[in-house]
Amino acid sequence: MQIPAMSSALEGMSRAETQLNQAASDIARATTVSPLGADVVDLSASMVSLLQSRNNFDANTKVFKVADEMQKSLLNVIG
């Protein structure tokens, strides 16, 4: 038996990981300079995305933990 919140939390964690990887890739490319001398990557936007992905992952982790506790409580009540 799986509580739907667990699936949602896992999906959210996966999306956060994808966002984190993209932000990290953007930051890694930040040392690249275009031929015209302009920055290729906006570091502030990449850092905001990095922080958002961390917060999203943390929030989904908490949802997963609560859903796990609910499932354990339900199983204790049933059997």
Tell whether 73 is covered by a domain: yes
Tell whether 10 is covered by a domain: yes
Indicate the number of domains in the chain. Answer: 1
Tell whether 34 is covered by a domain: no
Q: How confident is the model at residue 34 (pLDDT cuts 50, 70, 90)?
A: low
Tell whether 57 is covered by a domain: yes
Q: What is the pTM of this model?
A: 0.76
Residues in CB range of 40: below 8 A, 6 or more apart: 29, 30, 32, 33, 34
- What the block records as the tokens of 15 is 């999306």
Cα 58 to Cα 14: distance, rounded to the nearest angstrom? 12
Task: Give the structural domain span for 67.
Answer: 4-29+40-78
Tell whether 49 is covered by a domain: yes
The string of pLDDT tens digits covering residues 43-78 is 889 999 999 999 999 999 999 999 999 999 988 999
Per-position DSSP letters for 36-73, written without gaps between them? TS-BSS-HHHHHHHHHHHHHHHHHHHHHHHHHHHHHHH
